[in-house]
Amino acid sequence: MNINDGGRRRFEDNEHTLRIYPGTISEGTIYCPIPARKNSTAAEVIDSLINRLHLDKTKCYVLAEVKEFGGEEWILNPTDCPVQRMMLWPRMALENRLSGEDYRFLLREKNLDGSIHYGSLQSWLRVTEERRRMMERGFLPQPQQKDFDDLCSLPDLNEKTLLENLRNRFKHEKIYTYVGSILIAINPFKFLPIYNPKYVKMYDNHQLGKLEPHIYAVADVAYHAMLQRKRNQCIVISGESGSGKTQSTNFLIHHLTALSQKGFASGVEQIILGAGPVLEAFGNAKTAHNNNSSRFGKFIQVNYQETGTVLGAYVEKYLLEKSRLVYQEHNERNYHVFYYLLAGASEEERSAFHLKQPEEYHYLNQITKKPLRQSWDDYCYDSEPDCFTVEGEDLRHDFERLQLAMEMVGFLPKTRRQIFSLLSAILHLGNICYKKKTYRDDSIDICNPEVLPVVSELLEVKEEMLFEALVTRKTVTVGEKLILPYKLAEAVTVRNSMAKSLYSALFDWIVFRINHALMNSKDLEQNTKTLSIGVLDIFGFEDYENNSFEQFCINFANERLQHYFNQHIFKLEQEEYRAEGISWHNIDYIDNTCCINLISKKPTGLLHLLDEESNFPQATNQTLLDKFKHQHEENSYIEFPAVMEPAFIIKHYAGKVKYGIKDFREKNTDHMRPDIVALLRSSKNAFISGMIGIDPVAVFRWAVLRAFFRAVIAFREAGKRHIQRKTGKQ
């Protein structure tokens, strides 16, 4: 596929060439090029293949999409559009730069029972199973054990032997290792062909531990445990930033939805496929440790009928890092979507949304200060690293990919324009600067009033109201209303709070719309009994050079996960052994209950003390730190630096972390003032006014109700016109 560098091409009118690899179905053919358009279905492509390759028309064929990140196959439904799936691929895959590892389409034959025929796969599985049984019975020699696939089997279990075993397995590209029912995954940062149908079939309905450790085994055990016990299951994924948590989630969700299908991907899986790039664009960012770090936690719940058929799914998000919107540390970026929009928008969109270069936005240029570039083309050939570009990424292609993914989830073109317009408004809002008036100490003014009309136009609010809300606050006292000017620091805080609240509301709305697309009508039927498997993908433990309130919340969440792990793996298991009279030597483990109590136990936990100080107008960072010292100076899980440093140190299960106290109070009370809420609710744009301060479910229900009454009125009007025409003819 050719990409026009002169501007963004529209997919609808373009003809693309699909390379279909028939494999053993057509001996001697490596691949067959098939022309197709965006709306061409898989059934139409297969018909073209049958005619081109002169295949047996009595057999049933399907298309399979192979993913670069592991060789797993996604079977396309007859109505799926291969070109749309192809446009979600990375640019390098479209240009065939990845030899032997690229994304591709395969032609597969379908069996009479609905399963997919993989040729020699069945015989390979039979031989593998027979060899395993022969070794178990002693007829074949056991392979020399150089490593252990379950750390519980180590003869001498200590930190050194544990790490050495993991290292030896990793050297042989064995990235998965069990610890009982827990799976350890080490990120290989390269392609490993261990996710294709051969492995899907191998782990189908096998007991955990019988075969080589694999993430498919965990998904399979959860699925069959749910069906057999009729109880909901949950898979928890935890690890450091960059350890591959999100990719592991993708493998699990793909396998969990595919397990209930006869080869074909479900509609739920199709929507999740489109939802992934959308959530990634709005919720991921480049950090110092990871170029594509998830800056929010998510819980994905796949719902099933009692028979094991997928019904629908649900996504819940946690702890979106709102502060990243207004400030980023060194060598970090804002959320991906801003860079996608600035690089990929058409000239018409750039004019309509008043888009500039990234250096011209305060929310994007705080770290790197460089001469302005004339266009995004200059970035492609700049060898000097900066905070705007990441090696190997194509922002224009990523923007097109995002547009298509939003379309797959159900976002109409008008909705997409409203979202991009709001993103531009947030960026321009960050450019508003303040200064003190010379003749009054407490009064402030806006340095660059030319920005106000742009923000006013994008938010569709009155410019005068916007100005008043940004420089003054309204206070109601007994019998009168007072209008008081903000101090300089207060005004900056209000501006940033407005931007963060807008972005957070937009992210909540996007998650809600994705959930509506994932919802199945059967979920609403009271008589339908459902089961579910949940996958929790949350931040890893973080310890940066400068740690603030965000890392405090993230690490507390990980502390709770570790406590859950301790309770279920050590404490409850050992109590059960004692209750059953089993001879057992207790295993000592680090109990982190004291650390959790330090942070959250009422009334003296750090979070509760923070809430108290946040409600005192005269409180400062120092008074908050003093309160921490007064209450917990004797606690062994918290330390205070010897020098007069505004910080405290928590002894977490993963190690000590120093947190700077700066902005703890401000971030804890991060909400919009009523003046700002009233301003945004007055917007003429129903999309913006509906998002602010109102439950998105209520907004959606009202939209459905409004659409219903409009349809009824339109139907009645059409009926009246029909009667009038009929009467006129008579």
Is the model's pLDDT at 359 over the cut of 80?
yes
Confidence of residue 330 (pLDDT cuts 50, 70, 90): confident
Confidence of residue 715 (pLDDT cuts 50, 70, 90): low
pLDDT at 246: 86
- Is-contact 471 402, C-beta < 8 A? no
Q: Which two tokens stand for residue 423?
A: 């993103």
- Identify the active-site residue in 23, 71, 209, 242: 242
Is the model's pLDDT at 380 over the cut of 70?
no
Is 242 designated active site?
A: yes
Average pLDDT over residues 650-664: 92
Is 241 designated active site?
A: yes
Calculate what percentage of the chain has a pLDDT beyond 90: 34
- Identify the active-site residue in 109, 269, 332, 542: 542
Q: What is the pLDDT of residues 38-64, one digit of tens each?
A: 889 999 999 999 998 889 888 889 898
Residue 497 labeled ligand binder: no
- Is-contact 382 251, C-beta < 8 A? no
Is 293 designated active site?
A: yes
Residue 576 labeled ligand binder: no
Q: Which two tokens stand for residue 79?
A: 């109505």
pLDDT at 278: 94
Residue range 563-662, CATH number: 1.20.58.530
- Is-contact 494 481, C-beta < 8 A? no
pLDDT at 104: 84
- Is-contact 223 271, C-beta < 8 A? no
Is the model's pLDDT at 328 over the cut of 50?
yes
How far apart CA 212 and CA 177 sit, in angstroms, is 8
pTM for the complete prediction? 0.79
Is the model's pLDDT at 361 over the cut of 90?
yes
Confidence of residue 167 (pLDDT cuts 50, 70, 90): very high
Backbone angles phi, psi at 89, to 5 degrees: -70, 155
- Identify the active-site residue in 26, 238, 246, 456: 246
- Is-contact 44 18, C-beta < 8 A? no
pLDDT at 441: 66
Helix, coil or strand: residue 484: strand
pLDDT at 723: 75
Q: What is the pLDDT of residues 286-307, one digit of tens each?
A: 988 888 888 898 899 988 888 8
- Identify the active-site residue in 26, 40, 77, 241: 241
Average pLDDT over residues 572-587: 75
Calculate what percentage of the chain has a pLDDT beyond 70: 81
Q: How far is CA 213 from CA 157, 181, 218, 582, in A?
A: 19, 10, 9, 28
pLDDT at 213: 94
Q: What b/e sequence results for 448-457 when a residue is b if at least 16 CB atoms lie within 10 Å of its CB, and e otherwise? A: eeebbebbbb
Is 581 designated active site?
A: no
- Is-contact 34 52, C-beta < 8 A? yes
Residue 242 labeled ligand binder: yes
Residue 241 labeled ligand binder: yes
Residue 239 labeled ligand binder: yes
pLDDT at 423: 97
Q: Which two tokens stand for residue 495?
A: 């501006």
Average pLDDT over residues 85-112: 72
Residue with the bigger pLDDT between 155 and 260: it is 155
CA 320, 324, 325, 326 dihedral sign is: positive
At 36, the amino acid letter reads A
Residue with the bigger pLDDT between 554 and 479: it is 554
- Is-contact 707 686, C-beta < 8 A? no
- Identify the active-site residue in 249, 266, 294, 365: 294
Average pLDDT over residues 249-265: 74
Query: How many other C-beta atoms lie within 10 A of the C-beta of residue 238?
Result: 18
- Name the CATH architecture for the domain at 15-117: Roll (3.10)
Is 307 designated active site?
A: no
Q: What is the pLDDT of residues 512-535, one digit of tens each?
A: 999 888 876 555 555 667 899 999
pLDDT at 144: 58
pLDDT at 97: 43
Confidence of residue 707 (pLDDT cuts 50, 70, 90): low
pLDDT at 385: 44
- Identify the active-site residue in 26, 238, 293, 323: 293
Summary mean pLDDT of the chain: 82
Residue 463 labeled ligand binder: no
pLDDT at 266: 56
Is 542 designated active site?
A: yes
Query: How many other C-beta atoms lie within 10 A of the C-beta of residue 584?
Result: 12
Is the model's pLDDT at 194 over the cut of 60?
yes
Average pLDDT over residues 639-648: 90
Q: Kind of pairing, strands 638-639 and 480-485?
A: unpaired
DSSP state of 77: P
Confidence of residue 108 (pLDDT cuts 50, 70, 90): confident
Q: What is the pLDDT of residues 413-443, one digit of tens each?
A: 999 999 999 999 999 999 999 988 876 667 8
DSSP state of 642: S
Q: Looking at 414-471, which runs of residues are DSSP E strands?
A: 434-436, 444-446
Confidence of residue 370 (pLDDT cuts 50, 70, 90): very low
Residues 6+ apart with CB under 8 A from 456: 462, 463, 466
Q: Which two tokens stand for residue 594?
A: 């004291």
Confidence of residue 95 (pLDDT cuts 50, 70, 90): low
Helix, coil or strand: residue 227: helix
Is the model's pLDDT at 497 over the cut of 70?
yes
pLDDT at 9: 46
pLDDT at 364: 93
Residues 6+ apart with CB under 8 A from 480: none
Q: Which two tokens stand for residue 503?
A: 């972005």
- Identify the active-site residue in 290, 504, 600, 682: 290
Choose from 347-361, 434-448, 554-568 the range with maximum mean pLDDT.
347-361
Q: What is the CA radius of gyration of the chain?
A: 29
